[in-house]
Amino acid sequence: MNRLATTFARLKADNRAGFVTYIMAGDGETAELLDRLPAAGADVIELGMPFTDPMADGPSIQGAALRALDNGMTLKGTLALARAFRENHPDTPLVLMGYANPVHHMGYGAFARAAADAGVDGLICVDLPPEEDTELREALAAENISIIRLATPTTNNDRLKTVAEGSSGFVYYVSTTGVTGMGKGAATDVADAVKRVQTATGLPVAVGFGVRTPEEAAEIASGGADAVVVGSAIVSANHDGGTKTALELVRSISAAVRAAS
Amino acid sequence: MTAKPNAFSQYPDAQGRFGEFGGRYVAETLMPNILALEKAYEDAKADPAFTAEFEDFLKHYVGRPSPLYFAERLTDHFGGAQIWLKRDELNHTGAHKINNCLGQVLLAKRMGKTRIIAETGAGQHGVATATIAARFGLPCEVFMGATDVERQAPNVFRMKLLGAKVHAVKSGRGTLKDAMNEALRDWVTYPDETFYVIGTVAGPHPYPMMVRDFQSVIGREAREQMLERIGRLPDAAVACIGGGSNAMGLFHPFLEDENVRLIGVEAAGKGLDTPDHAASLNGGEPGILHGNRTYLLQDEGGQIVEGHSISAGLDYPGIGPEHAFLHDVKRAEYVSATDDEALEMFQLCSKLEGIIPALEPAHALARVRDLAVELDPDGVILMNMCGRGDKDVPQVARMLGVEV
């Protein structure tokens, strides 16, 4: 059992939805922000790996990726941030999220070993659908790292089986067709979809893409999701007001999620 | 002459792979779309009515078959093998791009899609897509890097004249790859109603195969015309390569003719020993971008690097996966030509043949020159003149210090 499984089991026992926070490695004071996220209420942390061509992301995260790259952030640097986080936080799951090319360039085996060494628990690779992730998935499995797959409103029940096969940790349900930060799907649709994905995959379901406010997060949490993911809003807060502003938002969303479920 | 069967033309496999290249590297939202597109394309390909309509429009609207022309004065000037030009620059809209746009828009119509989107760099593919969309009465939106919108104002106006909406893409660095990212974002957002017309033999499967098939009319015609005109196949078929659609269209019908050398010419920009080039095969490494695994220009951390070329049609940091495959199995040779060489050939071809070539095929001409000398005078070279140079006249004038 890795930290993701432990965390989702604990959330289930506590009968509440989890809160997953996304930030971009290298955009602002990432080390400090990472260090303070668990105390502010993050149950799981997604750490973005910057890429020049983030084609599934909206303007907030695109901007963060380019700023991070301009700041000199690399995949190795991202792994170093993860390792530093892990030294002080033995229990909070850390998931890397990004695009395939930098990982492919490092080599799947080398990446899996380095990620395990840095205490990483899972990987979300946006442009690696199940059809293309076998080699990476096997390399990660050897290191007990989960590959977390995406399901979307366009993923029908047949495909959900494909999505479930070989994935672990949780399923990331993209609540709307579109890019990150665009606005969420209708709450009832999302609640229905969450049930559908939970049933088909047997995995916890985290809902994201376009959840921006405490109210929206609470609505998703009370709709049966196992966790709510907030990314673009935290990234924007961090860019506009720095670590303090980002943490304030995290605390308010965390409180709303806990109250809702 | 009968073609010798070999394995090269059998790709891609069921997973959309050409050897270890190609595939379907897209976000989950697009997977159902990609799979539906693949199925719709297979159905269309098997339907004689679809092919008949495609061929009818190619003939009467695009103006095919394009002529095969013996470039006698270039041949004399280089003093070697015969040079034959496949005149795809005479197509409607002035380049080979329209062959593919026609095929894809007919497919969009067949699939009941109500909205066409496309990416464009210099604007040639955007203009061709807008043209065909206008002909079929479909709304068309073109994504173009903000930098390119500024540089290519006449093509922007052409697209608008044709009824298309042009989005100036400011995200990223505002170039062709960013335009492609933005088109993919749009497609992810409106997957049901939208048909994305990709302009080259790249992107997720089935695009590299589908675009190649639509462009293969170039090689099929040229092969027949060569046999008809001189009773033999050429010793070499040469084409310039950005993403590689005109080259793939020329090469594919010759893949099984193992005595025909296939030569692709990449843009070496200011030189392969400088950072300013767009030669993905000669100066890149395998990686994953825009839906496929192929050779890419990238840095040591796997970040994509911008390509540079005098020709906006060649400065894409990737290359079609089938070219990556043909390169690795050595069925095709990939060489390069610099900005300066292209500029020289642009002028030479204009003066000697009365044909102003686009800067893209001017690159190919630079290697045709070497090849003509390398082969003996009995040799025959076939080159695809994939576009005309009208669009490049203002830029070339500036570079030559002439005010127009």
Nearest to B244 by CA among B202, B210, B276: B202
Overall average pLDDT of the A191-204 stretch: 94
Q: Which positions ≥6 away from B8 have C-beta within 8 Å?
A: B255, B256, B326, B329, B331
Considering the candidates A27, A29, A35, A57, report the single residue annotated as catalytic. Answer: A57
Considering the candidates A43, A46, A133, A219, report the single residue annotated as catalytic. Answer: A46
Cα B194 to the center of its chain, rounded Å: 23
pLDDT top residue among B189 and B6: B189
Q: By 3-state DSSP, what share of chain B in percent is helix, strand and coil, each rounded to 5?
A: 45, 20, 35
Nearest to B87 by CA among B312, B367, B357: B357
- Predicted ipTM of the assembly: 0.95
Domain count along chain A: 1
CA dist., res. A54 & res. A36, Å (int):
26
Which sign, positive or negative, has the C-alpha torsion A202, A206, A207, A210? negative
DSSP A158: H
Comparing CB atoms, the residue among B27, B171, B178 nearest residue A150 is: B27
At what angle are helices A157-164 and A187-201 packed, to 10 degrees? 50
Inter-chain CB proximity A105 and B26 less than 8 Å: no
Q: What is the predicted pLDDT for the residue at B158? A: 97
Yes or no: say if B318 and B290 are a contact pair by the CB < 8 Å rule. Answer: yes
Q: Which residues on A lie below 8 Å from B27 (Cβ)? A: 55-56, 126-127, 129, 150, 152
Yes or no: say if B182 and A53 are a contact pair by the CB < 8 Å rule. Answer: no
What's A249's domain CATH number? 3.20.20.70
Q: Which residues on B lie below 8 Å from A177 (Cβ)? A: 29, 188-191
User: Does B6 have pLDDT greater than 80?
Assistant: no
The partner residues of B264 in beta bridges, in order of sequence, read B239, B334
Q: In what order do the strands lie in the sheet with B115-120?
A: B165-169, B140-145, B115-120, B194-197
Q: Which residues on A lie below 8 Å from B298 (Cβ)? A: 101, 105
Please report which confidence band the pLDDT of residue B343 belongs to, taking 50, 70 and 90 as the band edges.
Answer: very high
Alpha helices in A144-213 (DSSP H): 157-164, 187-201
- B252: exposed, middle or buried (Cβ count in 10 Å: 0-12, 13-18, 19+): buried
Overall average pLDDT of the B130-156 stretch: 93
Q: What is the predicted pLDDT for the residue at B1? A: 43
- Domain that includes residue A199, residue range: 3-260
Q: Which positions ≥6 away from A21 have C-beta within 8 Å?
A: A37, A42, A44, A45, A46, A229, A230, A231, A234, A250
Alpha helices in B136-265 (DSSP H): 146-151, 153-161, 176-189, 207-215, 217-230, 245-251
A253: distance to nearest CA of chain B, Å? 26
Yes or no: say if B357 and B390 are a contact pair by the CB < 8 Å rule. Answer: no
Q: Which positions ≥6 away from A13 have C-beta within 8 Å?
A: none
Q: What is the predicted pLDDT for the residue at B29? A: 86
A211: distance to nearest CA of chain B, Å? 16
CA dist., res. A80 & res. A255, Å (int):
30
Q: What is the DSSP string of B22-68?
A: EEEE--GGGHHHHHHHHHHHHHHHT-HHHHHHHHHHIIIII-PSPPE
Nearest to B319 by CA among B372, B283, B273, B355: B283
CA dist., res. B355 & res. A78, Å (int):
53
> Which residues of A, range 137-176, sit inside 8 Å of B by Cβ?
149-156, 159, 163, 174
Q: By 3-state DSSP, what share of chain A in percent is helix, strand and coil, each rounded to 5?
A: 55, 15, 35
Overall average pLDDT of the B393-402 stretch: 92
Element of type H or E holding A60 = helix A59-70
And the tokens for B355?
């044909």
CA dist., res. B371 & res. A219, Å (int):
68
CA dist., res. A47 & res. A90, Å (int):
16
User: Does B391 have pLDDT greater than 60?
Assistant: yes
CA dist., res. A92 & res. A38, Å (int):
7
Which phi and psi angles does B280 have, rounded to 5°? Answer: -65, -40
User: Does A36 have pLDDT greater than 60?
Assistant: yes
Model pTM score: 0.96
Please report which confidence band the pLDDT of residue A185 belongs to, taking 50, 70 and 90 as the band edges.
Answer: low
Strands B68-70 and B82-86: antiparallel
- Any B CB within 8 A of A66 CB: yes
Q: Which of A66, A96, A106, A127 to mutate to test the interface with B (most CBs of B within 10 A)?
A: A127
Comparing CB atoms, the residue among B24, B28, B177 nearest residue A53 is: B177
Q: What is the DSSP string of A75-129?
A: HHHHHHHHHHHHHH-SSS-EEEEE-HHHHHHH-HHHHHHHHHHTT--EEEETT--
Give long-range contacts, CB 8 A cutoff, 24+ apart: B56-64: B57/B102, B57/B106, B58/B99, B58/B102, B58/B217, B61/B92, B61/B102, B61/B135, B62/B91, B62/B92, B62/B98, B62/B99, B62/B102, B63/B90, B63/B91, B63/B92, B64/B91, B64/B99, B64/B217, B64/B221
Overall average pLDDT of the A194-209 stretch: 94
Overall average pLDDT of the A218-235 stretch: 96
CA dist., res. B11 & res. B183, Å (int):
27
Q: What is the predicted pLDDT for the residue at A186? A: 67
- Any B CB within 8 A of A39 CB: no
| Mean pLDDT of the residues in chain A | 95
pLDDT digits (tens, 9 = 90+) for A87-116: 999 999 999 999 999 999 999 999 999 999
And the tokens for B105?
């828009």
Q: What is the predicted pLDDT for the residue at B152? A: 84
Element of type H or E holding B110 = helix B97-110
CA dist., res. B292 & res. B206, Å (int):
10
Inter-chain CB proximity B302 and A56 less than 8 Å: no
B20: distance to nearest CA of chain A, Å? 11
Is position A248 annotated as part of the catalytic site?
no
Q: Which residues on A lie below 8 Å from B25 (Cβ)? A: 100, 127-129, 132
CA dist., res. A36 & res. A99, Å (int):
26
Q: Which residues on A lie below 8 Å from B178 (Cβ)? A: 53
Nearest-by-CA chain A residue for B204:
A127
Q: What is the predicted pLDDT for the residue at A9? A: 97
Overall average pLDDT of the B127-141 stretch: 98
Nearest-by-CA chain A residue for B22:
A132
Nearest to B257 by CA among B104, B107, B352, B380: B380
Which phi and psi angles does A27 have, rounded to 5°? Answer: -100, 100
Is position A46 annotated as part of the catalytic site?
yes
Give me the percent of chain A exceeding a pLDDT of 70.
Answer: 98
User: Does A187 have pLDDT greater than 80?
Assistant: no
And the tokens for B109?
């119509």
Overall average pLDDT of the B269-276 stretch: 96
| Mean pLDDT of the residues in chain B | 95
Strands A94-98 and A18-24: unpaired
pLDDT digits (tens, 9 = 90+) for B279-312: 999 999 999 999 999 999 999 999 999 999 998 8
Overall average pLDDT of the A8-16 stretch: 97
Q: What is the predicted pLDDT for the residue at A184? A: 60
